[in-house]
Structure 1
Amino acid sequence: MHPRVKPALRRGWRDLTTVQFGVARAHAVVLGPMDPATAGLLDLIDGTRGPDMLREEGERLGLPHSHVDQLLSRLTEAGLLDDATGGGEPADALRRRTEVLDRLRPDLASLSLTDREPTGGISRLTARRGMRVQVRGAGRVGATIAAVLSGAGVGRVDVLDGGRVEASDVAPGGFPAEAIGERRDESARRLVRRCAPQRAPRRARPFRTTRSPFAELPSTAQGAGAAADTAGGGEPYADPGLSLVVVAPRDGLAAYAPDPRLSTPFMESGTPHLYAGVIEGTGVVGPLVLPGASACAGCLDLGRAERDLAWPRMLAQWRSGRSRPVQACDLGLATTVAGLAATHALAFLDGGLPASAGTRWELPLPELDWRPQPVGPHRECPCGAARRRNPLGEWERVMDERDDTSIEGAAHETMAG
């Protein structure tokens, strides 16, 4: 181990003996009391020395070995240390690709703050490369989500949509103006490749999948929907299963009131899926559906019909009526929705349970105030989530036990007061 005080956290002295790491309260940590010699040793914990060399440096500063070990232990317990050489072979391979790592350093710094373990950040980042996400929809929202996920290091991002890119699809984070008239699927593939810091190898290690512990899972490592192919002299390789599907249709109604019939394949295969879109000037992110553990599209449909008896009649008219030639999808709002949806998706892929699980977040213009709309499982929905006790807690427990490659999150020590 080559310990390094997490470089993402700014350091400041509250007084002569108390040091604060971090500015924002969510990740700020205060340590003290600390004498001048120990403060000098902090500057040497920069990833270039192992524990033995740090003990030698401590001797030069008049600090016994036990004091150096105690300091490293305190920093580790506080979640303030990274291991500059840890993470195993996947991390070493990434470090050797300096041009790739340079692209991802801001993401790595962020991940190091959400995991207390010294190798947590680099392990999460390398795990992303072994994941496959599907984005359904390639408009202003969907294309931008795909670009962000690819740029953040997700190994494979597939985009499904038909037709050709229209002028109204162009967005700074998505399709460029030069793509107008191109097939959406082909243009989306180019966008994803252009944003990726590194193309995933055709023959990769098995991808990590994240599926419902309450669904029937195939016995194969690649999961439902996996296919075999051959490459390089007929040697088989695995087409990875989906870790997540992001449903971001160009018609925002399909995100606001998703058709349960269209989510049947996700529910049957136990594939987590997240809804996102813009409808009539209102941004929508969520819910994140964990099949069998959280509210699904069917729960949404049944719950709304129960509260509003006219809802099924109105919804049938909206779905069957003539589509509007222009969607009310403000560019700034669409970009905001795409950013939040991608952030929730990455948080889930990194092993967390974002606030969109069991909740739909709505952002209407012009107030621009994110409003949480809890979405509970419906007792009559065949998904079965309503019949389980604490299903989201059970989801976390089972997934931690099943997936040895998952990175378990932890709470952070925060500044007192």
Structure 2
Amino acid sequence: MRPALKAGLLPLWRDRDTLQLGVDPRRAVALAGLGKAAAVISLLDGSRDRGAVIGTAQAYGVPAEAADRVLALLAAAGVLDDFPARLRASLPDPLRARLAPELATAALAYGDGDGGARTLARRRAAFIRVHGAGRTGACVASFLAASGIGHVACADPEPAEPADLAPAGLIHADLGAPRQDGAARAVRRAAPEVRTRDDGALPDLVILTAPTLPDLTGALVRDRVAHLAVRADEAIGVVGPLVRPASTACLRCVDLRKAEGDPAWPKILAQATFAHARPQACDTVLAAMTAALASAQALAFIDRAWASPVTANGTLEVALPDWQWRRRTWLPHPACGCGAATAAAAPA
């Protein structure tokens, strides 16, 4: 083990013998009575193994037993990490420096004790396909690439228009070119090492940022490909549901639930699928905000952060002008053939 303090926590001294790691009470940890052994703290940068830390501390006049006690206290408090040498060696210095905020965040959020290494490994191995590369979709693609996803491909052959441009997505030079090509360039600007070519393999996750035909969503359900619906228009952003086929509510389940409250919904949906308002009521901030939350849900799925992400069987929705996110629940519908309702009814 090469012990290192969690990168995202500032070491702060409450007094000469009491160390506080972190500022916010939800993360901060205080260690009292360190005394002379406090010198050990400056050695915990991941460059030495445990024996070398204790040996160097002894050279500074700290007894081995005291140094070992400090390490034990820090480990018990959950603020020591051990970033695997194997993964460290696989990351060129510029890439590791760029991904340092992602690693620090994962280390704090997930507490795996490896400095975010497991999370980064999962992201680098993941393939996400984004359908729709307009104002929101291209931002999603670049956010995911910058977050460490190893393969991000976009599907959208339509030519880029001025209203598609956004700070984290398509730029002026992309006008007139296929949106998917512009989105690939946005991905490479964010993370040059990320693969953007779609080789036709089944992705780990599909993100749907444009109106989709039943043939596509039906194929995703049949192939058991997880997918996340994302929409930003009419001054409303919607993220979800995150569909895990045969496990959580699919998009048809949601439409069947909507039709229960509005019998005309199928007609409205059929028209809306093929007719799009121009310009869309999706300003720059709404597009970025929706894309950021969609990316967060995608990362939670890839990271396996929890068994049931908040958009499974639900949507997160924001409507201007209050900018408050709210969650709506969408349970599997028994009339849908996706199998989720049957799975939900099965005994645990």
Distance 1:173 1:100, change over 3 A: same
Who is 1:401 aligned against? none
What are structure 2's unaligned runs of at least 5 residues?
none
Structure 2 residue corresponding to 1:310, chosen from 260, 264, 267: 264
CA distance in 1, matches of 2:257, 2:89: 50
Matching of residue 167 in structure 1 with residue 162 in structure 2: yes
Aligned: 1:271 with 2:194: no
SS in 2 for 1:129: helix
User: Does 1:242 pair with 2:197?
Assistant: no
2: CA distance between counterparts of 1:348 and 1:25?
Answer: 27
Q: Secondary structure at the match of 1:388?
A: helix
1:363 Cα deviation after fit: 0.8
Q: Which amino acid aligns with 1:280?
A: E
2:318 to 363, 370, 373: 363
Q: 1:201 to 1:189 in 2, by over 3 A?
A: closer
Aligned partner of 2:89 among 78, 87, 92? 92
Match of 1:295 among 226, 249, 266: 249
Q: 1:199–1:295: structure 2 CA closer, same or farther, 3 Å change rule?
A: closer
Structure 1 residue 289 displacement after superposition: 1.0
Letter in 2 for 1:41: V
In the alignment, which residue of structure 2 is the partner of 1:8?
Answer: 8
1:324 maps to 2:319: no
Q: Distance in 2 between matches of 1:36 and 1:104?
A: 35
Structure ranking higher on relative contact order (CA contacts 8 Å, 6+ apart): 1
Whole-Å separation in 1 of the counterparts to 2:20 and 2:310? 29
Whole-Å Cα distance in 1 between the matches of residues 345 and 59 of structure 2? 55
Contact 1:103 1:197 in 2 (8 A): no
In structure 2, relative to structure 1, the CA distance for the partners of 1:78 and 1:271 (3 Å cut) is farther
Whether the aligned pair in 1 keeps the contact of 2:152 and 2:196 (CA below 8 Å) is: no
> CA separation of 1:15/1:307 partners in 2, compared to 1, >3 Å: closer, same or farther?
farther
Q: How big is the shift at 1:140?
A: 0.3
Distance in structure 2 (CA, Å) of the matches to 1:269 and 1:24: 44
Which residue of structure 2 aligns with residue 280 of structure 1?
234
Amino acid paired to 2:312: A
Does the Cα contact within 8 Å between 1:91 and 1:126 map onto a contact in 2? no
Who is 1:223 aligned against? none
1:385 aligned partner:
340
Q: Percent of aligned positions with the same letter in both sequences?
A: 36
Answer whether contact 1:259 1:297 (CA < 8 A) is retained.
no
1:217-232 equivalent positions in 2, closer than 5 A: none
Say if 1:76 and 1:116, in contact at 8 Å, map to a contact too: no
What corresponds to 1:49 in structure 2? 48
Cα deviation, residue 170, structure 1:
0.8
Say which SS state the counterpart of residue 110 (structure 2) adopts: coil
For 1:236, the equivalent position in structure 2 comes to none
Cα 1:377–1:162 change in 2 (3 A) is same
* CA pair 200-317 structure 1, distance change in 2 beyond 3 A: closer
Partner of 2:36: 37
Give 1:93's aligned amino acid: S
For 1:248, the aligned partner's letter is T
Contact kept, 8 Å, 1:91 with 1:123, in 2: the verdict is no
Distance 1:32 1:194, change over 3 A: closer
Partner of 2:221, secondary structure, is: helix
Residue 190 of structure 1, CA deviation: 2.2
Note closer, same or farther for the CA distance 1:358–1:125 as it changes in structure 2 (3 Å cut): same
> 1-side partners of 2:343 and 2:194: how far apart?
41
Structure 1: stretches of 5+ with no match in the other structure? 203-225, 228-238, 395-417
Q: Which amino acid aligns with 1:381?
A: C
CA displacement 1:144-177 (0-9 Å, x = unmatched): 1111111222111110012211011111111111
1:130 to 125, 132, 149: 125
Structure 2 distance, partners of 1:373, 1:14, is 44
Q: After superposing the two structures, state which structure 1 stretch, 127-136 or 138-147, moved more.
A: 127-136
Distance change in 2, residues 1:98/1:60 (3 Å): closer
CA distance in 2, matches of 1:9, 1:168: 41
CA distance in 2, matches of 1:325, 1:35: 65
Alpha carbons 1:37, 1:61 under 8 Å: kept: no
Conserved in 2, the CA contact under 8 Å of 1:302 and 1:378? yes
- Rounded to whole Å, the distance in 2 between the matches of 1:318 and 1:344 is 25
Deviation at 1:120, TM superposition (A): 4.9
Instruction: Give deviations 1:308-345, integer Å, cap 9, x for gaps.
Output: 2332233334345x432321111111111111111221
**What is the one-letter code of the residue matched to 1:59?**
Q
- Does the 8 A contact of 2:238 with 2:318 survive in 1? yes
Counterpart residue number, 2:22: 22
- Which of 174, 178, 198 does residue 179 from structure 1 map onto? 174
- The amino acid that maps onto 1:270 is R
The alignment covers a number of residue pairs equal to 345
Q: Secondary structure at the match of 1:185?
A: helix
CA RMSD of aligned residues (A): 2.6
Counterpart AA for 2:218: T
**What is the TM-score of this pair, normalised by structure 2?**
0.89
Give, in angstroms, the shift of residue 60 of structure 1: 4.7
